[in-house]
Amino acid sequence: MGRATAVAMRARVAPCLVIAGAVVLAAVTGCTAIPAARGHPGSPEITAGRQPPQTASNSNRWRVIYSTPTVQTELTGIASIRATDAWVVGYHGYPQAVPILLHWNGEDWRTARLPAVPGFRPSQVMASIAGNVWIDGTTAGGNGELFRFDGRSWQRMPVPAGRWGSNLAAVTGRTNAWLTSGGCKRRSWPWNCSSTIEQWNGTRWIASHLRILVSGLAAVGRQIWVTGLTGTRPAHGGDGSGHLVLLRQATSGWQPIAAPHAAVTASPRVIVTGTELPQLAAGSNGTAWILCATPGGKTSQGNLFHWNSAPRNRARWTAIPVPVKVGRRPLYVSTNLSPDGRIGVWAGADAHWTGLQWVSASIVRPTRLGAVQLIEAAGIRVEPGSWAIGASGVSIVTVPGGPGVIAVNGPLYRASCRRRPCG
């Protein structure tokens, strides 16, 4: 499976738009922060973030420390719990997939096993604690599958009735998990869209329905937030432009909360894979991140918005421009948004906002099978250093030709290279 297709199938990147059994996606072509004074009274203040640095930093240099023993391998998800506990999922083989599950125990990556499900392709892994780790994915027939690790063993979990596939959105608390799915009627994006959110409360799934296209869900502090696009057609018609919607879960249902006013321009006539919708990630100490970006822009790649709840009397969103380059290096932004475990966030495995500046990360050397492409990063909570997953070698059509790889940067590099030489 190609990366663009894989990204389009995952809920935290973009929920699938299911129309008469087909997957139809619209391409976002712009993302612009709108000042509160322009027709948005009572909106939260948006301040400008620090400007990008003029030169790239070498502190975010990736080093490959693990390669899978199999080729044609795609690693699709990573969950970092602490410096001595992390999980990676993926699969190898084409067309018959064989799932891969790897566990980091603080010294080495070791293979683990899931209950046998023929043709299962894991798409992502998430965790809240060591005893609440979830994996989602699909079978060869397109049916959703869910697994949960309770600290001792992996178990198959029930999938909500009527779902064509599972899209894991978040894992919270000691047992809770969240699934999302969404769809739009043909040629009506985003004004005739709806989404379903399923919450596992420890014993069963509880569904709620929203008239927006949900594209992100995260636990911000003790609250559950979702972000998406407006589901009401503008009076003047238009080509599909919308505004960010931010909701939080309450006892009375989902309630709107202050969101950055960012216009998202899209054309429903353009059908591609890999829709770039607003992404949501939870930072530390009740902070949040929303990425509204168009990767590959010529002069700008959109904005990263940071919610800082520290000033209790004046919580605010800060708009951080996403540059095209950092110094002379291109900044490759992806909508795989993930906190770095401290005060920053990763937008893919190349673009790192440290909390002070953008850094374009790099790989020191390729593997023996060729160049390495990293697709997703995950920071370690409250500790410096991050993991990243990807593949090496030349792709065969849309399937990676080489093994899957795991890379590290920061102090974690020294700890992970004690027992084996790192690349």
pLDDT digits (tens, 9 = 90+) for 188-239: 665 677 889 999 999 999 999 998 888 899 999 889 999 987 765 554 544 4
Band (pLDDT 50/70/90 cuts) for residue 142 is confident
In the chain, where the domains are located? 3-35+45-416
Mean pLDDT over each residue of the chain, to the nearest integer: 76
What mean pLDDT is predicted for residues 100-124?
92
CA 371/CA 369 separation, integer angstroms: 7
Whether residue 54 is predicted with pLDDT greater than 70 in this model: the reply is no
Distance CA 333, CA 375 (A): 10
Q: What is the mean pLDDT of residues 51-75?
A: 71
Give the model's pLDDT for residue 366: 63
Examine the pLDDT at 78 and tell me if it is beyond 90. Answer: yes
Backbone angles phi, psi at 5, to 5 degrees: -70, -40
25 touches 282 (CB < 8 A): no
pLDDT for 68:
93
Identify the CATH assignment for 3-35+45-416 out of 1.10.238.10, 2.130.10.10, 2.30.30.40, 1.10.10.60: 2.130.10.10
Give the per-residue pLDDT at 264.
60
Residue with tokens 């960012």: 262
State percent of the chain over pLDDT 70.
70
Torsion over CA: 127, 387, 282, 138 (sign): negative
pLDDT at 53 over 50: no
pLDDT in tens, 147-183: 999 999 999 999 987 655 667 889 998 889 999 987 7
| Higher per-residue pLDDT: 309 or 48 | 309
40 pLDDT above the threshold of 50? no
334-392 confidence digits (pLDDT tens): 878 999 988 899 999 999 999 999 999 877 666 666 788 899 999 987 677 899 999 98
CB burial of 331-353 (b: ≥16 within 10 Å; e: otherwise) equals bbbbbbbbbbbbebbbbbbbbbb
Q: Residue 231: what pLDDT?
A: 61
- In tens, the pLDDT along 259-274 reads 887 656 554 433 233 3
| H helix intervals, 82-199 | none
